[in-house]
């Protein structure tokens, strides 16, 4: 039996457990399962990068499993250390980046030791791509918020005549967005993004 066949057999059960907790539309992009040598005192960890989050699955000794999640938008830093026989993945994630999250503010650091190199590198690539994508989204949102706060100066022209109707439309759209926020259908961050778009248009 080849080493990859043994790994596939060993990973089958944890991957089945992982797939059972994926939400509809979420896809598994990369995963890494801890090597046996580094899990002598506990069951091996499974770290999985999905399309929406990073999932850590810890199987219990007598069946069952614990799942913890790091949302991509909370990811602050990812580091990968590759050794001779394994790799270590370290993450720093912020807690409660929006008002919809419960829990204390601040960051938590999580480290995973003894991962197969190729699998750890695949998870690292996904983490880096998501980190960069969310940094860009935050940068764009901050620019929109700054633009909205500054108010901007509008030079009146011939096209300014229908502005009165557009102003009433903007007030209506802001009121609708506020109602969605009050009904908890959108988060504060989404409300701020909608508000910035309405104000800047």
Q: Which fold is adopted by the domain 3-138?
A: PH-domain like (2.30.29)
What per-residue confidence (pLDDT) applies to 105?
60
Q: How many CB atoms lie within 10 A of CB 50?
A: 21
In this prediction, the residues of the chain whose per-residue pLDDT falls under 50 are 1-6, 102, 155-161
Residue 167 CA neighbour count, 13 Å, CB half: 5
What per-residue confidence (pLDDT) applies to 129?
92
Strand, helix or coil for residue 41 = coil
Q: Where along the chain do its domains lie?
A: 3-138, 153-200
How far the first Cα of the chain sits from its last, in Å, is 63
Share of the chain above pLDDT 90, in %: 8
Nearest-5° Cα angle at 37, 31 to 40? 105
* Report field, pTM of the whole predicted structure over 0.75: no
């Amino acid at each position: 039996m080849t080493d990859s066949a043994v790994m596939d057999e060993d990973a089958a059960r944890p991957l089945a457990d992982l797939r059972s907790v994926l939400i509809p539309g979420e896809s598994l992009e990369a995963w890494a399962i801890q090597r046996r040598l580094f899990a002598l005192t506990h069951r091996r960890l499974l770290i999985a990068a999905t399309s929406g989050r990073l999932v850590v699955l810890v199987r219990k000794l007598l069946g069952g499993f614990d799942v913890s999640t790091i949302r991509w938008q909370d990811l602050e830093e990812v580091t990968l250390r590759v050794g001779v026989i394994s790799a270590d993945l370290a993450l720093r994630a912020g807690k409660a980046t929006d008002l919809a999250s419960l829990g204390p503010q601040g960051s938590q650091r999580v480290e995973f030791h003894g991962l197969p190199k190729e699998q750890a590198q695949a998870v690292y690539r996904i983490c880096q791509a998501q980190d960069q994508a969310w940094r860009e989204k935050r940068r764009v949102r901050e620019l929109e918020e700054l633009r909205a706060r500054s108010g901007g100066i509008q030079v009146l022209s011939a096209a300014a005549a229908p502005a009165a109707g557009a102003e009433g439309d903007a007030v209506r759209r802001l009121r609708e967005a506020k109602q969605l926020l009050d009904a908890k259908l959108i988060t504060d961050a989404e409300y701020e993004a909608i508000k910035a778009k309405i104000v800047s248009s």
